[in-house]
Chains A and B, each alone.
Chain A
Amino acid sequence: MLLMGVVILIVVTEIMKDALLEESRNRAVSIGISLAARAEEPILAMDLLRMKTLVDETVQMSDDILYSFILDEKGEPLVHTFKWGFPVDLKKANQVPDNVKSSIRFLDTGNRYIDDYAFPIVIEERRFGTVRLGLLRTKMDMAMSRLFRSTVLSIGFVILLATLVGTGLALPVTKRIRILHESSNQVIRGNLDVHTASPLKHNCWEITACGERSCPAYENFDIRCWHLEGTHCPDFKNGNSIEKMAFCQQCQVYRKCSGDEIQSLAERFDSMALSLKRHISELRETQNTLREQRQRLKTVLDATPDFVFLQDSQSKYLAANKAYCELVGKKEEEIIGLTDFDLFPRHWAERFREEDQKILETGNPHVREGKVKGGNGSRLYHIVKTPVYDANGRVAGLHCSGRDINEFKQVQDRATQAQKMEAIGQLTAGVAHEINTPLGIILGYAQLQLEDVDAESQIHEDLKTIEKHAKICRKIVSDLLRFSRHTESTMGPLDINEAIEDVLSVAEHTFNLERVSLARRYDPDLPPIEGDKEKIKQAVINLANNAFDAIGTDGVITVSTHYDHIRNEVVIRVTDNGAGIPPETQGRIFDPFFTTKPVGKGTGLGLSVTFGIVEEHGGKIAVESPLNREENPGKHQGRQGTAFVIRLPVSKETDEEETINGKNTGSG
């Protein structure tokens, strides 16, 4: 305010100074022009007396006119008002051309400042002389000082008055605006419980005496009724906020209670804050619900072993589940926004994009099987891509799911192999049956001939060879028949440990000859199983023989049993520290006629027979190779070791008995 006052003072002073100066000059010019006009006649007449009278009269007109004089056409003074001669310097101090009305010069005499005015006396373009006037600045300066003082006083008074009046008027306004400002700051900080509007003297329920206690406006001191929805106003039923406001403006409550603009603004602010708070609360609830749903959906998607992802029409990833993230070896947030070109080799990505475009164009799903190279190596997947539609029914992207079908394929292959084996078995049974009779004849006749010939003769030797190979053939045929023929099993409760021990006690001597020892680790608490003892023994001896063959010499065969409580199975484990089985052949070892032994050493039917026996008992057989260090101390010598694991289900009766016992125990 003070600064403005100074500015106003300067401006006003300057303007008034200019105006005064202008006024003074105008007055001087007016006097000078008049004098010049009045001097025409005397100067023509060379009437010096009249001229002198004129200049004297001019000087007497005002205190600030210091001098006046008339020069002739040559610039020489004719008459003047100076008492002691004419000042020579003044002659040329202000020379005015013929063609201008006046000329002003600011003269400094050393102790005074003078405005010197010159006016040419020209008649018919001929110069007859010059009239000169000298006005003291002192008087004008005094006037200026007086003016300045009065202006300062006036402006000071006005400033003081304006400050007092302005403060008095502005204080209530600024106070309310400050409250509004503070409230807005509170809202910005997140506090929506603001009460900006000052409470009014009258309230709607008092004015109308409505008694509507259920009305949202009733005893609501914070929000005016015209800002509230759903009020119980008797004359207003339904309508939007604009219609309600139009109704309210005609209402006596509004007329009595509505305040000025600031009050209205504050009430609206409070109403908006309340509304905002309500909306934010709803928004948060919705947000939480959405978050939960999203989390559930993510859990569902992540829990499935199938990979699932969503792409937009440009094949950009919108979402991907955990399986897919693991497949491509990236996090979901890294994948989103990328395309196949960022994740896969270019030729793959191009093929995927072609597929996607076809789906986006036609809207038809796409199903295929394909190998996908991921973190777990190359896997076969069953992939289904289906279009995703937007709200307008247009294809907006696609959904893709992929299922790992490697296991399924293996099972399928095995089933095929089993079917093939079954056919071979039937064929083999027929062939073996046909061969068995002639083979018996060959063997019989060979043995008869052996009795007739000299034991030392060549023929005897040859017949022995025939007998030996005929026996080998008979064993092969016998194995084939056992493998293929579905002989009736004699099932009954069976002690596995006992059956195993029967086998091992027979074979142990033979194994020891080759320095292969047998280690037994029987579980003494094995439950009995339902099985055919002979067949189980056959299965165990086959595994023991295989172990022995794998070791050759110097080794240990460990046979252990235990009971798997969880699965309710009896587990037989036959391990050796032999050469081990390479992974690539592990899938084929149970195939008939598959053998790694030299010709004549094995028929390739041992494990097939074992496999068949185990299956017949409802069990499973698996191979593990190589073994870990604990199980195979000889691993460091280059022996990988092998373990065959047979799982046989415990008989149902035993199971039920145990359950009943368990229940009894539990109840007891």
Chain B
Amino acid sequence: MKRIGKLQNGLTICLLILLSGCTQEEPVQKVDLTKREEVRIKEEKNVITYAYLPQYSHRLAYQRHFMLLDFLRKETGLNIKQIFPDTFDEHMKMVGQGKIDISYTNPFNYTKIARRHGAKAFARTIEIYGREKFRGQIICRADNRAIQSIEDCRGKRWIAVDSTSAGGYLYCLGLFMSHGIRKEDFSEVAFAPGPGGKQEKVVLAVYTGKYDVGSIREGTLSVVSDKIDVTKIKILTHTPWYPGWLFAARANLDDDIVESIRRAFIKLDDTRPEHHRILKQAGFTGIISSTDRDYDPVRTLVLQLGIDRD
């Protein structure tokens, strides 16, 4: 018994020694919190601001265009910086305020900023399916048996991207109207809550069954394919083709700057691997020159829909 006691004590002492070796002191860094300074945001000068109409999240907007902007900076030598307005209205307002020099925007918004603030289209994109035009899609859940055709949308809950979204609202509204379905015929018409990521929010709202039908820009489903099972989403129909997204310069931006940017855009060749990566990341296959006239069909649609162009 005594021997066991001794053994126990020995083990305990050994444990204590081991434990004392286990504890280690953390390194401490001394800081003086009394030295203070005021925060001042320094504005950069000679910056050409570039903004993506916030149909997606800022992160996605950045991810899509950061390589394109790198390319532009390299090609033009201009200090081009991407900025991120939170809403379509803010975007338009900033164009008017001269805070956005180059705007990447949808046709409907363009008609607005062109009309309101004198913005000028100078280039437009070629969509991933090889067209310089794009269209909207009306979607519903694949297992929604109540909606088999566009007519079935009557009386249903509709969620659109934004009241100013071309592919995500206006084009689809035009399509509904052409089928005799008015805005009032829906039991509910809602827009995706902002800011940012509105296209994705429409898909998610339909996917979760919160709304019966949704209207999105073609190509959005591929963007959300990593978040949801897109096979559960059915594309009910497409809208007619309309001119695609465009690059517009604010009023009074130096023509040389615009021209140098346009030239740089046109240089992008999807067949060249280094350009292909930029274009693929941006979500289109090329950029061509454009003029304001290219967007007259949109203006016509707006008139048809009776939407206030201001």
Tell me if chain B binds chain A: yes
A86–B58 CB distance below 8 A: no
Task: Knowing A78-B41, A88-B36, A174-B1, say if A44 contacts B84 (CB, 8 Å).
Answer: yes
A124–B39 CB distance below 8 A: no
B289 part of interface (Cβ distance < 8 Å): no
Q: Which of A105-113, A236-244, A642-650 contacts B (4 or more CB under 8 A)?
A: A105-113
Further pairs besides A46-B83, A93-B31, A107-B31: 20, Cβ < 8 Å: A4-B12, A6-B16, A10-B19, A40-B58, A41-B59, A44-B82, A45-B84, A45-B85, A46-B84, A47-B86, A48-B41, A79-B39, A86-B36, A86-B38, A90-B33, A106-B27, A107-B30, A108-B30, A109-B33, A177-B1
- The 4 A-B pairs at the shortest CB distance, nearest first, are namely A85-B36, A45-B84, A44-B58, A89-B31
A to B CB contacts below 8 Å, 20 in the list: A11-B19, A14-B23, A40-B59, A41-B57, A41-B196, A44-B59, A45-B58, A46-B83, A76-B39, A79-B39, A82-B36, A84-B36, A86-B39, A89-B35, A107-B29, A108-B28, A108-B30, A109-B31, A109-B33, A126-B66
Task: Knowing A48-B41, A88-B35, A88-B36, say if A123 contacts B63 (CB, 8 Å).
Answer: yes
Count of CB-CB pairs between chains A and B under 8 Å: 103
A48→B39 CA distance, assembly (Å): 11
B291 part of interface (Cβ distance < 8 Å): no
Q: Which residues of B contact A14 (CB under 8 A)?
A: 19, 22-23
Q: Which residues of A contact B12 (CB under 8 A)?
A: 3-4, 7
A56→B1 CA distance, assembly (Å): 64
A195 part of interface (Cβ distance < 8 Å): no
A80 part of interface (Cβ distance < 8 Å): yes
A86→B36 CA distance, assembly (Å): 5
- Interface core residue of B29, B86, B196 (most chain A CB under 10 Å): B29
A114→B86 CA distance, assembly (Å): 36
Residues of chain A from 333 to 381 with CB closer than 8 A to chain B in the complex: none
Q: Which residues of B contact A110 (CB under 8 A)?
A: 30, 32
Q: Which residues of A contact B61 (CB under 8 A)?
A: 44
B37 part of interface (Cβ distance < 8 Å): yes
Closest to B27 in A: A106
Q: Mark A38-61, 1 if CB is under 8 A from B, else 0.
A: 001100111110000000000000
Residues of chain A from 544 to 586 with CB closer than 8 A to chain B in the complex: none
Residues of chain B from 35 to 49 with CB closer than 8 A to chain A in the complex: 35-39, 41
Q: Which residues of A contact B66 (CB under 8 A)?
A: 123-124, 126
Q: Which residues of B contact A77 (CB under 8 A)?
A: 39
A41–B58 CB distance below 8 A: yes
Q: Which residues of A contact B143 (CB under 8 A)?
A: none
A393 part of interface (Cβ distance < 8 Å): no
B295 part of interface (Cβ distance < 8 Å): no
Closest to A114 in B: B31
Q: Chain A interface mostly helix, strand, loop or mixed?
A: mixed
B97 part of interface (Cβ distance < 8 Å): no
How many Å from the CB of A330 to the closest CB on chain B? 50
Q: Which residues of A contact B23 (CB under 8 A)?
A: 14
B63–A124 CB distance below 8 A: yes
Closest to A66 in B: B33
Q: Which residues of B contact A600 (CB under 8 A)?
A: none
A88–B15 CB distance below 8 A: no
A44–B85 CB distance below 8 A: no
How many Å from the CB of B64 to the closest CB on chain A? 10
A87–B35 CB distance below 8 A: yes
Q: Using a CB–CB distance below 8 Å, which chain B residues touch chain A? A: 1, 8-9, 12, 15-16, 19, 22-23, 26-39, 41, 57-59, 61-63, 66, 82-86, 195-196
How many Å from the CB of B38 to the closest CB on chain A? 5
B16–A90 CB distance below 8 A: no
A80–B39 CB distance below 8 A: yes
- Interface core residue of A11, A14, A45, A80 (most chain B CB under 10 Å): A45
How many Å from the CB of A126 to the closest CB on chain B? 7
Q: Which residues of A contact B30 (CB under 8 A)?
A: 107-110
A113→B38 CA distance, assembly (Å): 24
Q: Which residues of A contact B85 (CB under 8 A)?
A: 45
Q: Which residues of B contact A109 (CB under 8 A)?
A: 30-33
Q: Which residues of B contact A7 (CB under 8 A)?
A: 12, 15-16, 19
Task: Knowing A44-B59, A85-B37, say if A10 contacts B26 (CB, 8 Å).
Answer: no
A266→B29 CA distance, assembly (Å): 68
A457→B103 CA distance, assembly (Å): 205
Q: Which residues of B contact A44 (CB under 8 A)?
A: 58-59, 61-62, 82, 84
A124–B62 CB distance below 8 A: yes
Q: Which residues of B contact A11 (CB under 8 A)?
A: 15, 19
Closest to A89 in B: B31
Q: Which residues of B contact A108 (CB under 8 A)?
A: 28-31
Closest to A47 in B: B86
Q: Which residues of A contact B16 (CB under 8 A)?
A: 6-7, 10
Closest to B59 in A: A40
A48→B63 CA distance, assembly (Å): 21
A78→B41 CA distance, assembly (Å): 7
A77→B42 CA distance, assembly (Å): 11
A566→B59 CA distance, assembly (Å): 147
Q: Which residues of A contact B83 (CB under 8 A)?
A: 45-46
